[in-house]
Structure 1
Amino acid sequence: MRKWGGMHPALRAVLVGAAACAVILAAGLIAGESLEDAIANAVFYALMIGGGVFFLTKRFPTAAEKLDEHGTLVIFLRFPGSPPGSLSSIWRMGIARPGAERIDFQPIVDDTLIPNGRSKALTGLGAAAIPTRKTDRHDHQQDVPLDFQILTLDSDDGVIEIAASRATLQKIERAVGSASS
């Protein structure tokens, strides 16, 4: 269902708006509002909710697609083997420029993709023995999208994890010469 919603963001927004309209209309009538007031409130809030869903779902992929045209990718990065207290479990959103056995990672502010901080070169990248896995609820709490997967790589700085879409992970695997999938 999520995959279908991603392919049809306008239709998903209309369906969410219609469902919100029905729920708000029913709640208004149960609460004792007049029919005209209940309809007006339901339509108003349905338009607000449906519009919000549409614009929120269209914003991130469009920006990521623009970056992809220039050879850069949107990823989330973390260092799971870092010492305790060093934010090893925190995902950092950023822009990646993959190359031969390296990735240049630039942190970004949010989904507007504004660079923030210094670029870091992750060198000596190679396949780790851990297979690609799906993100879990702890990852989603840090705004990692639901359909992202996690790739584990060995680097000169230790083990790193990259969360990205499947297509992005495949591009990274090809660029760094990884044999994992």
Structure 2
Amino acid sequence: MRKWGEMHPALRAVLVGVVACAAILAAGLILGGTLEDAVANAAFYALMIGGGVFFMTTRFPTDAAKPDEPGKFVIFLRFPDSSPGSLSSTWQMGVASPGPGRIDFQPTVHGELIASGRSKALTGLRATEFPPRKANRQDAKQEVPLDFHVISLNSDAGVIDIAAGPATLQNLQRVVLTPS
């Protein structure tokens, strides 16, 4: 069912809206409300819930953004230990080209893989003692999908956080943290 929902986000939103409408309509009638009030409430909340589901599932298609070249990965990057007032809590989407102890990061436009901004070479990458964690709501506010995982790495420029899909993170760790 989940795979079908990923292939048809609009139909999934309609299905969720219909189920929400039926449940809210039944609850309104069982609680003794008038038919008009129950129908109005059910229609309103069904549209709100269905619309929310649709926009949440189409906001960032995780499978659509894949680079054309092998050995390049779509990731999100941030520098959590930057000075206050800087971009320490802001995630930047881009394409990573990993190598032993190094990642070349090219920022891109969200949703498309068009380069925007200056490329960064992150060198001297080493593992930290922190285990990978799942992206949370604060990360999702900046377009990081909730099914992504986040790792922290030490670099010559300080600690960096990288968010990507679990398979992508495993590949990055394998390439970057393997001695040359």
Smaller-chain TM-score bracket: 0.7 to 0.9
Contact 1:75 1:164 in 2 (8 A): yes
**Pairwise CA RMSD:** 3.4
Separation of aligned partners in 1, 2:128 and 2:68: 25
The answer to whether the aligner puts 1:117 opposite 2:105 as a matched pair is no
In the alignment, which residue of structure 2 is the partner of 1:103?
A: 103
In the alignment, which residue of structure 2 is the partner of 1:38?
A: none
In the alignment, which residue of structure 2 is the partner of 1:60?
A: 61
Partner secondary structure for residue 61 of structure 1: coil
Q: TM-score, normalised by structure 2?
A: 0.73
Separation of aligned partners in 2, 1:129 and 1:178: 16
Separation of aligned partners in 2, 1:142 and 1:178: 30
In the alignment, which residue of structure 1 is the partner of 2:140?
A: 140
CA offsets, 1:110-149, max 9 Å, x none? 1112210011000111111111111222111111100111
The answer to whether the aligner puts 1:19 opposite 2:20 as a matched pair is no
CA offsets, 1:29-69, max 9 Å, x none? 83699xxxxxxx9xxx8xx96xx569827x733433x4165
Letter in 1 for 2:7: A
How far apart are 1:6 and its partner, in Å? Answer: 5.2
More helix by share: 1
Q: TM-score, normalised by structure 1?
A: 0.73
Change (3 A) 1:92 1:32: closer
Change (3 A) 1:61 1:138: closer
The answer to whether the aligner puts 1:153 opposite 2:153 as a matched pair is yes
In the alignment, which residue of structure 2 is the partner of 1:36?
A: none
The answer to whether the aligner puts 1:94 opposite 2:100 as a matched pair is no
Separation of aligned partners in 1, 2:120 and 2:136: 26
In the alignment, which residue of structure 1 is the partner of 2:76?
A: 76
Unaligned runs of 5+ in 2: 26-34
Partner secondary structure for residue 115 of structure 1: coil
The answer to whether the aligner puts 1:10 opposite 2:7 as a matched pair is yes
Change (3 A) 1:135 1:22: closer
Change (3 A) 1:129 1:91: same
Change (3 A) 1:91 1:18: same
Contact 1:9 1:54 in 2 (8 A): no
In the alignment, which residue of structure 1 is the partner of 2:32?
A: none
Separation of aligned partners in 1, 2:2 and 2:21: 23
Letter in 2 for 1:63: A
How far apart are 1:153 and its partner, in Å? Answer: 0.5
